[in-house]
Structures are given as structure tokens and as C-alpha cells.
Amino acid sequence: MLLATSETPFEELAEWWRTGPPIFVRHICPVQAIVPLQGQADVDLVALREVVTTEFAAQIEPNLPFSVQTRILGELPYKPFDVNNALADEIYAVTTAQLNVRTPQQILSVVCAPAPNDPSHNTHQVAFVGLSAVGQNLSDWAGGVRRFAREEGQVSRSEFKLLEALEIFDIDLPARGSALDLGASPGGWTRVLRQHDQYVTAVDPGDLDPRLDQDRRIRHKRMTAEDYLADEPEQFDLIVNDMRMDARDSARLMARFAHQLYAHGTAIMTLKLPEQNRRPVIEQALTLLRQAYAIAGARQLFHNRSEITVYLRPLRREWE
């Protein structure tokens, strides 16, 4: 968590970041009240409910659905769910606004964390509380934590990365489109693409999950991405790449594949990052990608680890 002060109003800062989100920040929220916490559920929840009534009730639009989103950083004898429930009840009681956790239009954010001036960093806890429109927070989810339910038939956890990328970048795939999955094994991203009605060419010398073998809309090319490119492949609506390789090497390869995208096509890839000196690696990889693509988005999503996800659109050049 980063606590920052700014002379720029939160609304202006949020709009600035909404149009050009930073790579490593998933969620922001305003701080309009700071509530000391005693570490006792009955005392703390009463204090938070009182702040809702005195500081926020007049700001909450009664005709707009709301949600309470809580993050607890540190040790407290209650959970985010307990705070959410207590404050949601209080908001309804004093404003009659309706709770809607799935599609809220206004969000009361609560971050419980060690007090910033506490040298022990854990003895004294406070709650940072703020109210904002849902579009001002960069993410609809508390702290940018987006969770997906595990499904029967799921091939790998990497599926969540592609699902989150499609959602956060607001990518609409064409009906019955064609997709190329580079480095597809064991087939997690291929399975997600098939769920989105895409005909998939999966390129990888390794095996795909046996559960994908009977799907006639999956074509498995048992070769490397470099060999496949040399084989004069057709064009696609979408190219995805989650290969485990140096970010700069992956970017060079992806730039070569730009020719295989239709003019309306898009690409999604992950850039694997080193533990140290990440910034120059990111800058070099993005520079290589810009030779062939417009970078429509680059974010570290909740389901990324030591990597970022990049959303690309091909440049139209002399080969058109």
C-alpha cells in the first residue's frame, strides 16, 4: 500500500490515471477520514459506523447503488466481510441507498493498516476511509483483487490471467473468430479462447491437456513459434503469448508476428520480468513492440506474478 498526498483533487487524478493507467498500480481510492482502531471488533465497528453517519451520509447518493470494499493489512480480530456488512447496514439505514456489490456506482473504501507514524508499524492501526465513483478507482474490486471461480475442466491457473486481461482491457472478441496461441501447452489460454467462441491454432512442441484433444476447433501445431512463423501461417483476429522467455526476446518474436494479424486484430502477451532492474527491461521490451504495434494497455494484473500483461493493436505499414 502507498499512502500519498497531492495538491491535485482526487477526481482529477483519478481521471488522469483512468485514461492512462500506471503499470504497477491496480487500485486507488481517496482518503477523506482516518479512524483510529483499538483492535476490538465491537469498538472498531461502532467507530466506523459513526464516521459513516457523520462524514459520509450527506455525500452518498441515495438513488445510486453502492458497495463497501474493505482491505485489512495487518492483524485485526475481524475480517473485511465484517466491516462490509456493518457499514452497508449503516449506509442503508441513514440513506436508503441500495447495496449492489456486483455493479455499484459508488464505493465506500476502507483500508485498515498500521498508522503511518507508528515506528513499530503494527502497534497502532487506523482505517483510511473514502467515497468515490466506481470509475475513479482503476478497478471495480477492493484493492484490485479480482478473483475468478475455479471451474470444472480448468487446465491451469494461468487461465485467470487471460480472463482478467479480457476484462480489464475491455476486449470484445469477434464471434467465431480465429486466434493463435503461442506457447500454448498445457492449453489453459486455448481453453479460455474456445470458451469465447474462437477457433484456436495452438502452437507448442509440448502436449496439450488431453481434455482438449476432442475439440475440432483446436488445431495443435507441434512446433516452436519460430518454426511456425517460417511456415507462412495465415492471419488471425487475435494472437496471445504467455511464453516463459526473456521479455525482450518475447517482444522481438511478437513484433514479427504482427504481420499475421488482421487490420482489426489485437494481441495479448505477458512480459516475464527479472527480480531486479525491471524498469530497463520493460522499457526495452515496449520499445521493441512499438516497432509493430500500438500499445493499447500495459498493466500488472492481480493474476500476474513477476510479469506484466500487454494489450496490443497492429500498426498498418508497407505490407498493407
Task: Work out the average pLDDT over 116-131.
Answer: 77
Q: Which CATH architecture has domain 159-314?
A: 3-Layer(aba) Sandwich (3.40)
In this prediction, what percent of the chain has a pLDDT beyond 90? 82
- Compute the distance between CA of residue 263 and CA of residue 286 in angstroms, rounded to an integer: 20
The H or E element that residue 84 is part of is helix 80-95
- Convert the pLDDT of each residue in 9-28 to its tens digit: 999 989 988 888 899 999 99
Q: Which residue has the cell 499475421?
A: 260
pLDDT of residue 11: 92
Assess whether the region 10-144 and the region 159-314 belong to the same CATH fold.
no
pLDDT of residue 144: 86
Edge-to-edge strands, sheet with 177-182: 218-221, 198-203, 177-182, 236-241, 261-272, 307-314, 293-299
Active site residues: 272
**CATH topology classification for 10-144:** VC0802-like (3.30.2130)
Angle at 213 between CA 207 and CA 215, to 5 degrees: 135
Does 118 have pLDDT greater than 60? no
What are the residue ranges spanned by the domains of the chain?
A: 10-144, 159-314
